[in-house]
Amino acid sequence: MAMALSGSAHLTTGFHHHLRRVEFPFISHLTTAKAPRRIGLSFTVYVSSTKTMPGGQHSSDSSLEIIGGARDSLLPVFESLQHPYHPFPLIGWNRHVETIFAAFFRSLPDVRFRRECLRMKDNGTVALDWVSGDDCQLPAESPVLILLPGLTGGSGDTYVRHMLVRARNKGWRVVVFNSRGCGDSPVTTRQFYSASFTEDLREVVKHVGTRYRKANLYAAGWSLGANILVRYLGQEFHTCALSGAVSLCNPFNLVIADEDFRKGFNIVYDKALARSLRKIFEKHSLLFEDMGSEYNIQLAANAKSVKEFDEGLTRVSFGFMSADDYYCNSSSSDSIKHVQTPLLCIQENPNCLLIVTPKGGHLGWVAGAEAPLGAPWTDPVVMEFLEHLERGRTDAFPSCNKSNVVQHSSEELQILEV
């Protein structure tokens, strides 16, 4: 199932750490520095949490820095980025405290869903949770937002619900894509889902687009869902049906994420997620009786870590030689350079927008007007970006929706640091 893990603090706080270690093959060495650094796509950018003041001095105020061709047209779009990022006192200043607090104490908005079970080409099944009543209340041309939760996550997770409510309140039609076995979706084959597998998302996008032909489609993914989403965007760059996308807490390089996952306090998250994977497996264990080949069902059923589960089951299901081979060939860092769809994420690409917060745990962001129990700080940023695309008031990010694929200029790279 890989390491795009909901609830793993190091994946969020390691943004600069991962950038410094250069897991992205198309970027030359990029460091947190006061001087601009040229990266492989021939842009000059700052990756720094300081602000240059008159006389060459630097301020450490968490101010927003934007360098790029479309800066003037894009910055006014993000009202929420006009202010410094202020982590909630005590909670937001330690990444592990924030991650755990958000997982256990963030409020859960009440949403009534209507479930649609969609059968895939290989007879697998995913569950699409729509907001009940939307077909009667929203016009056919309302934009549609597809949400992809993190590993073992689904429509019952707090971060998913808060994003859904915010988008729905702005008139968007929202659907949660519960992967095989997640969110109590049924498992009807011997294959779950993985960080490398984009076919389910491809079929879901096609299904939603066919149902709402007059609407523009968008998607937002967290953690493992973000990795799958970015891989899909890279694969579909010529025929992408999405008008825009958002990637949140994407580990990008699963090999490095795996290494970090077994260090220090991160082991706690590893064990917790392994326990969640085992629970999903136990519900459908009869499907895996008398499995031969390279499957190690006992290892998966008793996995103490995510890697053990992947070694016993996931990597065999998807044709990889080992868990390491699976991670190496499933990282979205290999796909993002091909993305031509407008994308808000924590990565560099001519069509991407980078936002880095100075503090935070994984899927935490306990900051902003609704902290500590309300919506994450990211929710208004995401909606400002998506609404901006839907309004179509800028040429900085031409949509590749339907067959309108546009070759983007390298001048469009934006890097935001909060």
| DSSP-H helix ranges across 322-365 | 323-328
**Is the model more confident about 156 or about 73?**
156
Closest listed residue to residue 8, CA positions, set 192, 319, 227:
227
Work out the mean pLDDT of the chain and round it to a whole number: 76
Are both 319 and 382 inside the same structural domain?
no
In this prediction, residue 116 has a pLDDT band, given cuts at 50, 70 and 90, of very high
Q: Report which secondary-structure segment, H or E, holds 128.
A: strand 125-131
The total number of structural domains in the chain stands at 2
Which structural domain range is residue 319 located in? 254-330
Mean pLDDT of 51-77: 46
Cβ 369 vs Cβ 45: under 8 Å? no
DSSP 195-208: SS--HHHHHHHHHH
Ranked by mean pLDDT, the top range of 36-45, 233-242, 380-389 is 233-242
Are both 218 and 306 inside the same structural domain?
no
Cβ 272 vs Cβ 22: under 8 Å? no
Mean pLDDT of 56-82: 54
Cβ 243 vs Cβ 251: under 8 Å? no
3-state helix, strand, coil in the chain (%, to 5): 35, 15, 50
Task: Specify the pLDDT at position 114.
Answer: 97
Cα distances (Å, whole numbers) of residue 324 to 5, 178, 329: 16, 26, 9
Task: Specify the pLDDT at position 101.
Answer: 92
Query: Does some domain include residue 135?
Result: yes
**Is the model more confident about 182 or about 368?**
182
In this prediction, residue 407 has a pLDDT band, given cuts at 50, 70 and 90, of very low
Task: Specify the pLDDT at position 34.
Answer: 31
Q: Report which secondary-structure segment, H or E, holds 218.
A: strand 217-222
Are both 115 and 203 inside the same structural domain?
yes
Are both 99 and 222 inside the same structural domain?
yes
Over 60: is that where the pLDDT of 398 sits? no
Task: Specify the pLDDT at position 255.
Answer: 94
Are both 181 and 158 inside the same structural domain?
yes
Closest listed residue to residue 127, CA positions, set 158, 94, 149, 97:
149
Each residue of 273-282: pLDDT tens digit? 999 999 999 9
Task: Specify the pLDDT at position 265.
Answer: 93
In this prediction, residue 348 has a pLDDT band, given cuts at 50, 70 and 90, of low
Q: Report which secondary-structure segment, H or E, holds 317.
A: helix 315-317
Each residue of 219-263: pLDDT tens digit? 999 999 999 999 999 999 889 999 999 988 888 899 999 998 889
Under DSSP, is residue 185 helix (H, G, I), strand (E, B) or coil?
coil
Q: Is residue 69 exposed (0-12), middle (13-18) or buried (19+ Cβ within 10 Å)?
A: middle
Cβ 77 vs Cβ 66: under 8 Å? no
Are both 376 and 263 inside the same structural domain?
no
Query: 158-169 vs 378-391: helix axis angle to the nearest 10?
Result: 40
Q: Report which secondary-structure segment, H or E, holds 134.
A: helix 134-137
Mean pLDDT of 340-367: 65
At 145, list the tokens.
């937002």
Each residue of 186-210: pLDDT tens digit? 999 988 889 999 999 999 999 999 9
Task: Specify the pLDDT at position 151.
Answer: 93
Task: Specify the pLDDT at position 10.
Answer: 36
Alpha-carbon span 187 to 285, nearest angstrom? 10
Least confident of 91-100, 123-132, 151-160, 366-375: 366-375
Query: Does some domain include residue 192?
Result: yes
Are both 106 and 215 inside the same structural domain?
yes
Over 50: is that where the pLDDT of 160 sits? yes
Query: Does some domain include residue 39?
Result: no
Q: Which of 330, 345, 373 is the last residue of a domain?
A: 330
Mean pLDDT of 305-325: 95
Are both 116 and 213 inside the same structural domain?
yes
**Is the model more confident about 343 or about 37?**
343
Are both 164 and 262 inside the same structural domain?
no
Mean pLDDT of 19-32: 29
Share of the chain above pLDDT 70, in %: 71
Are both 132 and 219 inside the same structural domain?
yes
Task: Specify the pLDDT at position 94.
Answer: 86
Mean pLDDT of 318-334: 94
Mean pLDDT of 143-169: 96
**Is the model more confident about 231 or about 285?**
231
Are both 286 and 148 inside the same structural domain?
no
Query: Does some domain include residue 57?
Result: no
Mean pLDDT of 211-226: 96
Would residue 251 be called left, alpha or beta, if left means φ above 0 and alpha means ψ between -120 and 50 degrees? alpha
Task: Specify the pLDDT at position 188.
Answer: 93
Query: Does some domain include residue 150?
Result: yes
Q: Could you identify the residue written with the tokens 């059968």?
A: 119
In this prediction, residue 381 has a pLDDT band, given cuts at 50, 70 and 90, of confident
Over 90: is that where the pLDDT of 354 sits? no
Query: Does some domain include residue 186?
Result: yes
Task: Specify the pLDDT at position 371.
Answer: 81
Under DSSP, is residue 35 helix (H, G, I), strand (E, B) or coil?
coil
Cα distances (Å, whole numbers) of residue 134 to 116, 129, 141, 172: 14, 12, 12, 9
Over 90: is that where the pLDDT of 345 sits? no
Over 50: is that where the pLDDT of 55 sits? no
At 101, list the tokens.
């607090």
Alpha-carbon span 371 to 88, nearest angstrom? 6
**CATH number (domain holding residue 340):** 3.40.50.1820
Task: Specify the pLDDT at position 386.
Answer: 84
Are both 228 and 261 inside the same structural domain?
no
